[in-house]
Structure 1
Amino acid sequence: MTDSEDVMLAGRDIGLFVGVFTMTATWVGGGYINGTAEAVYDPLQGLLLCQAPIGYALSLVVGGVFFANKMRSLGYVTMLDPLQAKYGERMCGLLFIPALLGEIFWSAAILAALGATIAVVIGINGTISVIVSACIAMLYTLFGGLYAVAYTDVVQLFCIFVGLWLSIPFAMTHPAVHSITTNSTRWIGSLSADDAAQYVDNLLMLILGGIPWQVYFQRVLSARTARGAQMLSYMASLGCLIMAIPSILIGAVAASTDWSATEYNGTLDNIIIPSERKLVLPLVLQYLCPPAVSFVGLGAISAAVMSSADSSVFSAASMFAHNVVKALFPATSERCILFAMKGSILVVGGFACLLGIMIKSIYDLWFLSSDLVYVILFPQLISVLFIPFTNTYGSLAGFLVGLFLRLTSGERTIGLPALFRYPGYDYEAGLQRAPVKTIAMLGSLVVSTLVSYLMHRLWLAGKLEGRRDFFRCMRREAQAPVNGHSIISDTKEIDAVKAAEVSIKQRDAVVKETEQEKEEEDEEDEEEREAADAGVPLTTFEKGKTK
């Protein structure tokens, strides 16, 4: 293991205890605990429509069953390694873009959540808190690598757990709060038949779209063993569910509160106005808890923010250094790779901090980036790990089709109109009722598979050798040895590849022999013409000699 890989993966020496904590803390960030409380409180959602806890938990289970063991066993360093080995540096660079945007927007969203929280609880400028928190997270990540990120996650997760649970008894016993069981239908919510397709679509996006993130695979690949990588995924899924409980209770408390009986004056018909519903958790800390408890709860939110922000920034920096810089400059020393990684930590962290301060719709951008990760990266990861004949042609076709299908279906949160209206389209609300994200994801996967298979068969037939192989990738993609392993595991497939190579070599030999015979005949004819011009006819012996 090189020096840079040691920093990225903590020497592949993360044990089960630390691994479970760092995996759980990575998902249980500021957006997770704030968003869960907001969804439970929101009159239009409620607990039944609060999908993040169950979605992320199932995502970790699915990742552990199908991906963790395989990725760790093959000894990859980043999530992009199998894509780079199979599709080449250029296609990998294209797939790096949605992965990078997802990490940046995720960091920016949780930093923005911290700024809003501190502005409510303490009343100071949230910009200062965002900058300070980002600087602290970048500082220990810069010098400690994954070791620092993982071990601070243990402390941060403990702070989240204690801080939130400490505030719940005080919030529940506040005079303005009614029993959460009295009007439970208010915060439990309901699911209508019209929303069923969207519900499944968003849930699948959380479950399957939560897998192709470097922040997840960095923990998987740092585990000591492949079995350990699976176990930390399973146990972290349970940790995500447990850590959601206090946020759910806080949302239920907020829904059972007579806010007109508190000092808060931002209500409309005794309901928090929509623009401030994302601040439900800090509002409960501020107006339903004593100042000291509010301060401890604020510390819990700050810990949650840093536990996720440092992970996502470090993950983006790792992909850039290992899959971009190292690919562009293969002869680069390990010291330069480390410098590139540290420099990208500062750039990515600084950019995320800037977005968290300046852009108000950061949650929408983060949601869209998660959407693109699901639509684009998940089919690519499925193909490269489980479809032996996949290749660059199919990968590019799937990328373009998935992007096209998703963008043309529209996105109301960013004002993108729908060019294609699927069955059940709500013209009044301008909303797609069909599962457009999953349709785009499946479209990408199907097109990628079909195009890959077509190009693979053409190559086996000898019609894609030489210049016809535009990307010059078929032979590499057919075998794709990575760390001593071949992505093709079917013996018949390997025999077919070898037979095709032999057939091509034999045909090249025949063509070469034919060209040589033609050249010899041309030389013979030339000598005959020269002799005839000189008036000296060739004898039969001389003719045979020229041959």
Structure 2
Amino acid sequence: MSFVDYIIIAIYMIAMLVIGYIAKGKIHTMDDFILGGKRFNKFALVGTIMATMVGSGMTMGAVGNVYANGIAGTMVWIYGGFALGLVALGFLCKKIRATGARSLAETVSTAFGREARLASALVVVAYAVSLVAINIAGLRTIIIYIFGTSLSIPVATALAACISIAYTAMGGFFAVVWTDVAQLGIMVIGVFLIGPIIGVNMAGGVDVITSAYTAGGMSFTDPLAGGISAGMVGIALSYFLAVPGDPTMPQRVLSAKDDGTAKFSFIVSGGFAIYFAVAILFIGGSIFVLMPGLENSDAALPLFVLQYYPPVLKGITIAGIVAAIMSSFDSFLILATTHIMYDIGSVINPNVSEDKIKKALPIMTIVLGALGVIVALFIQSLLGYLSMVFSIIGSALVPALIAALYFKDKASKTGVVGSIILGTVVPAYLFLTKGYDVFLGDPLFIGLFASVGFLIVGSLIFRDKKAAA
């Protein structure tokens, strides 16, 4: 990279800290730190929704998946499920906002009490720390490929995390949203607009890419080339459920200035997701032609940018890749912090003042960021790890959320708490012991059956206990 490219990346990093510092002056109440004061418009919401969901796994991991498998890999199913999930959540916005909650765990607790809130919050924290780690691992990969062997992996990982931790701790959710908006702009220009143009042009056109995949026994144009398997449907379902189940998304619903803004923003974001999928397909296919035989497919995108982009555009696009990762990182970091201090803290000590919680939030943000750095050292596959945690969150929290919104008079506290526990433990155990070698090809199905089954049966058996409460 040229000196100018390094300057561009440095300016980007400094700008994120400046936004965090400015946002710090907007934080006066706990609502400001957790939800940005519930004042975000459509522009801000679309920016933060897309920037949050399209992190390292869904940029670097997705490009690597196309590179290795063509269109018949998992990328199309992932983005298809993701887009449908965003649109579906748009139609749930009014119900979620009517609860008056500040988090997903509190949304569930409005119908099912403290135990359900605690169970939900514990799952959310574990999930959020995992996503923090995934995005730190992605940032680490970028830094290593930019600076070569001059930095060790632990040092690179720590450096990658520090800036996001700093501006998130300073400005809370307000800083997260507006840094997300800036990051999405850089991301769209550097990766999703410039990437396909440069890639297809350098590769010699779509016909050349198509022929290269055909010669390799794969397809660039037929997503059903390998047939439809239960595993593929499971992946699409896991990403569909991961949108309402991903606690960052209800958090954005609750942060909108009104119901219409929230609904519009999620539906429009679903359309953006389809475009992102098309762009990633062309980028991954181009790299397959230009740089065959890469050992680490997750590194395909940064290597392509470093080798084929001209100066200045190279710096902008590397900043865009970093932006994609940092925008997810900060969102999950604030999510974990919120659920520990606000949701778990409120259950453990119902009398704790909001002022004390507000003062402790920045400190917990730093602690959780450091924990994410440690977990990141053990992550090998970005997209594979992302698929696992998305499957778990979908089966664990979506049934409880739907029950809270639509069936609070029929479901019971015991049924919901048991549903959350089984929806977490069952798929997690299967992923760790069997992987995808299970009934229907994805642990999500069994986890979802267990979660919904216990919610129904448990609510019927323990109905009287709920009535007594």
User: Shorter-chain TM-score: which interval?
Assistant: 0.7 to 0.9
Q: C-alpha displacement at 1:160, in angstroms?
A: 0.8
Q: C-alpha displacement at 1:431, in angstroms?
A: 5.6
Number of the residue aligned with 1:132: 159
Q: Partners in 2 of 1:41 and 1:202 — Cα distance? A: 18
Q: Partners in 1 of 2:141 and 2:351 — Cα distance? A: 46
Structure 1 counterpart of 2:127, which letter? G
Partner secondary structure for residue 355 of structure 2:
helix
Q: C-alpha displacement at 1:239, in angstroms?
A: 2.4
Contact 1:10/1:146 (8 A) holds in 2: yes
Instruction: List structure 1 segments (4+ residues) > 6 angstroms apart after TM superposition.
Output: none
Number of the residue aligned with 2:373: 353
Structure whose residues are more often helix by fraction: 2
Contact 1:18/1:151 (8 A) holds in 2: yes
Map Cα deviations across residues 57-104 of structure 1 (whole Å, 9 max, x no partner): 111111111x21101122111111132233332342222222112111
Number of the residue aligned with 2:68: 42
Q: Partners in 2 of 1:29 and 1:205 — Cα distance? A: 17
Number of the residue aligned with 1:493: none
Q: CA RMSD in A?
A: 2.7
Distance 1:367 1:173, change over 3 A: closer
Number of the residue aligned with 2:329: 309
The percentage of counterpart residues that share the same residue type is 22
Contact 1:355/1:362 (8 A) holds in 2: no
Map Cα deviations across residues 264-300 of structure 1 (whole Å, 9 max, x no partner): xxxxxx4323xx0111111211223335433322111
Asked whether 1:84 is paired with 2:109, we answer: yes
The 5-angstrom pairing of residues 36-185 of structure 1 reads: 36-43=62-69, 46=72, 49-65=75-91, 67-123=92-148, 124-125=150-151, 127-164=154-191, 165-174=193-202, 177-184=203-210, 185=214
**Aligned pairs, how many?**
432
Partner secondary structure for residue 208 of structure 2:
coil
Q: 2:253 aligns with which of 220, 226, 234?
A: 220
TM-score, normalised on structure 2?
0.84
Contact 2:49/2:266 (8 A) holds in 1: yes
Partner secondary structure for residue 187 of structure 1:
coil
Number of the residue aligned with 1:452: 459
Q: C-alpha displacement at 1:113, in angstroms?
A: 1.2
Structure 1 counterpart of 2:247, which letter? Q
- Max radius of gyration: which structure? 1
Q: RCO greater where, 1 or 2, for CA within 8 Å and sep 6 or more?
A: 2
Contact 1:43/1:189 (8 A) holds in 2: no
Map Cα deviations across residues 435-472 of structure 1 (whole Å, 9 max, x no partner): 5422431332132122213332xx3xxxxxxxxx4xxx
Contact 1:321/1:340 (8 A) holds in 2: yes
TM-score, normalised on structure 1?
0.73
Q: 1:15 aligns with which of 41, 59, 67?
A: 41
Partner secondary structure for residue 209 of structure 1:
helix
The 5-angstrom pairing of residues 480-499 of structure 1 reads: none
Q: Partners in 1 of 2:126 and 2:222 — Cα distance? A: 33
Structure 1 counterpart of 2:427, which letter? R
Q: C-alpha displacement at 1:216, in angstroms?
A: 0.8
Q: C-alpha displacement at 1:30, in angstroms?
A: 2.3
> Which is further off, 148-157 or 49-58?
49-58
Number of the residue aligned with 1:396: 417
Number of the residue aligned with 2:22: none
Q: Partners in 2 of 1:272 and 1:302 — Cα distance? A: 21
The 5-angstrom pairing of residues 83-482 of structure 1 reads: 83-123=108-148, 124-125=150-151, 127-164=154-191, 165-174=193-202, 177-184=203-210, 185=214, 186-188=219-221, 190-191=223-224, 195-257=228-290, 259=291, 270-273=292-295, 276-360=296-380, 364-387=384-407, 388-403=409-424, 405-406=426-427, 410-411=430-431, 414=432, 416-417=433-434, 430=437, 432-456=439-463, 459=464, 469=465, 473-476=466-469
Which stretches in structure 1 are left out of the alignment for 5+ residues?
Answer: 260-269, 419-428, 460-468, 477-547
Map Cα deviations across residues 137-178 of structure 1 (whole Å, 9 max, x no partner): 12122121221111111111111112123344444444xx33
Map Cα deviations across residues 337-390 of structure 1 (whole Å, 9 max, x no partner): 112322221121111122223543565444322221112111111222221221
Number of the residue aligned with 2:19: none
Q: Partners in 1 of 2:230 and 2:199 — Cα distance? A: 36
Number of the residue aligned with 1:524: none
Q: Partners in 1 of 2:426 and 2:161 — Cα distance? A: 36
Map Cα deviations across residues 21-60 of structure 1 (whole Å, 9 max, x no partner): 1111111222211122112211376467532322221111
Q: C-alpha displacement at 1:253, in angstroms?
A: 0.4
Number of the residue aligned with 2:12: none
Distance 1:282 1:236, change over 3 A: same
Number of the residue aligned with 1:540: none
